[in-house]
Amino acid sequence: MPEHLPDIWPTFVPTLPLGLGPPEGPMPSGSVRKPHRQPSLLLVDDDPFMLGMQSRMLRSMGFTMIGTAASAEAALALLSEGRAVVDVVICDLNMPGVDGLEFLRRLGDADFRGNIILLSGEGPRIIHAVQKLLSSRSLRILGALEKPAGRTSLRMLLDLWQPEAEPTALAQPPVFSAADLLAAQQAEQWVLHYQPKVELRSGALIGVEALLRWNHPLHGLVYPDRFIDLAEDCGAIGPLTDWVLHTALAQLALWHRSGLQIHMAVNVSMESLRAADFAPRLGALVRLGNLSPQDLMLEVTESRVMAISSAQLETLVRLCMQRFGLSIDDFGTGHSSLAQLRDVPFTELKIDRGFVHGAAQNQLIRPMLEGSIGIAQRLGLQTVAEGVETDEDWALLRAIGCDIAQGYFIARPMPSENLAAWLAEWLLRRPQLLAP
C-alpha cells in the first residue's frame, strides 16, 4: 500500500458522487488526530442524505480523506480502477440492486485488503449473522453498527484500524508426528503455565488454570492446539494427562504449604476418562500430596461431551462422588449444552470467551451471557467467565452476578515462579476494580 496517501487522494475524490475533499482551515475543535496516518474512507450508501450526514460527521471528527459512492456498483467500479487507495469501507447492507452482501462478496473475490464497517437497520441478529457469514472469507471486519451510526461508536471502530504492515513470508506451522511426542515425553519438554482466576465480588485470587506448553528445542513454546489432537489419535494422551496432573498437583501442594490456599483447574481429555481406573488413580494422587478432591477442578470441553460414552459418564460420576470439581468448558460453543447440563453432574459452568468479551456493547450476546449465568445459578453451579479482556467486561460480569473471572484483563498465563509477583501487583490494583 502506498505510504504517501495525500498524493493519491486528489484522484480519488472527483471519481465519486457527492465526494468530499479535505476541509479548509484548522481541524474542528474537540477533534482528535490519530497517532498514525489517517485512514482513507469510502462511504457506500444509496441514500444521499445519509451519505452527506455521515461525511459531515466524519469531517467534524477530524477525518479528511473521505469519498462516497451512491451504489455498490459505483464503489466496485471505483475500486476496480485502482485509482484510489481505500483503507476502510463503511457500507450499508440495505441497498437496491447489488445489496451489501453481494457487494462484500465481490470485495472478497477481488482480494480487497482494506477494512470494513457494516451499517444496517435490520437489528443486531441480522448484523451478527452477516459478521459470522463474512468471517469465513478474507475480508477484515472492524465491526458492525445499527443505523444511524453514532459518533462515539463509529469513532471506536475507526480507532481499531491500523495501517497494513508490509507483507512478509509466513512460516509454515510445524507438523508433528507420534515420534515427536514420544521424544518430547522422554526429554521432559513439557511445561505448565498458570492463569489466575479471581472472584468477581471480592477480587480475591481463588485458583489458577494449568495450561500445557511444549518447550520445543527448535520451535520454542508450542501451544496445545498444535499437538493435542495428535496425542489423542496416537494414544499418547494418557501419559501426557498423567504428567499434567502430577505436575499441577505438586505445584499446588507447594503453594498450599506456602500459605496460598487456592484451587487448581486442569483440562482433561475425554479419552482419559475411558480408563476405568482413572477416578481411583486420581483420588490416590490427591491424597499423596496431602490435598483434597475439592482442590482440583477438572475441565471438560463442551464439544467433546456431546458424544460421551457410558464408560466416560461413569468416570465423571465417580469423580463427582469423590467431590472433585467438574467444569463444562467453552460453554455455548457446542450443540447440546442444556442436555449436557442435564445428564452430566457438572459443578461449574465456564462460559466461552465468545459470549464474554465485548458483551457490554453487544445486544445479541449480552442476553446469552446473562441467560447462561441465570441457568447456572438455578442449577447451583459456579460460573466462570473466560476471555475477560477489558474493564467493561469486568464491570458487566460483576453487575450480572458472575462468580469468577479469567482473562488477559486479570493476567496472562505465566510460569509458577511469577505468580507471587503478579499477586502483589494485583492486590495493589484490586481496590480500584471493586470501587462502585
User: Does residue 330 contact residue 303 with C-beta atoms inside 8 Å?
Assistant: yes
Average pLDDT over residues 114-118: 86
The x, y and z cell numbers of residue 28, run together, are: 474542528
Question: Which of 28-37, 135-144, 312-321 bottoms out in mean pLDDT, i.e. has the lowest?
Answer: 28-37
The span from the CA of 154 to the CA of 57, in Å, is 10
Average pLDDT over residues 254-259: 96
Strand spans (E) along 166-295: 190-199, 205-216, 220-222, 263-267
Average pLDDT over residues 163-173: 63
Banded pLDDT at 139 (limits 50, 70, 90): confident
Rg (CA), the chain: 26
- The more confident residue out of 241 and 163 is 241
Strands 348-351, 382-386: pairing kind: parallel
Res 387: pLDDT: 94
Question: Which of 155-164, 167-176, 248-257, 377-386 bottoms out in mean pLDDT, i.e. has the lowest?
Answer: 167-176
- The more confident residue out of 150 and 340 is 150
Res 28: pLDDT: 39
Average pLDDT over residues 176-188: 91
- Please name which of 425, 428, 393 lies closest in space to residue 409, comparing C-alpha atoms: 393
Banded pLDDT at 305 (limits 50, 70, 90): low
User: Does residue 45 contact residue 54 with C-beta atoms inside 8 Å?
Assistant: yes
- Please name which of 351, 367, 331 lies closest in space to residue 125, comparing C-alpha atoms: 367
Tens-place pLDDT, residues 261-289:
999 999 998 888 989 999 999 999 999 99
Res 303: pLDDT: 57
The x, y and z cell numbers of residue 62, run together, are: 477530524
pLDDT at residue 216 tops 60: yes
Question: Which of 33-37, 248-252, 282-286, 295-299 bottoms out in mean pLDDT, i.e. has the lowest?
Answer: 33-37
pLDDT at residue 82 tops 90: no
pLDDT at residue 100 tops 80: no
Tens-place pLDDT, residues 6-54:
323 333 333 333 333 333 333 333 444 344 578 889 888 888 888 888 8
Res 84: pLDDT: 63
pLDDT at residue 341 tops 90: no
The span from the CA of 246 to the CA of 282, in Å, is 9
CA 116, distance to chain mean position in Å, is 19
CATH architecture of the domain with range 178-434:
Alpha-Beta Barrel (3.20)
What CATH number belongs to 5-158? 3.40.50.2300
Res 168: pLDDT: 55
- Domain spans of the chain? 5-158, 178-434
Helix 72-81 × helix 100-109 angle, to 10°? 20
Banded pLDDT at 167 (limits 50, 70, 90): low
Looking at the DSSP bridge assignments, the partners of residue 365 are: none
User: Does residue 100 contact residue 118 with C-beta atoms inside 8 Å?
Assistant: yes
Secondary structure letter of residue 124 according to DSSP: H
Average pLDDT over residues 378-400: 95
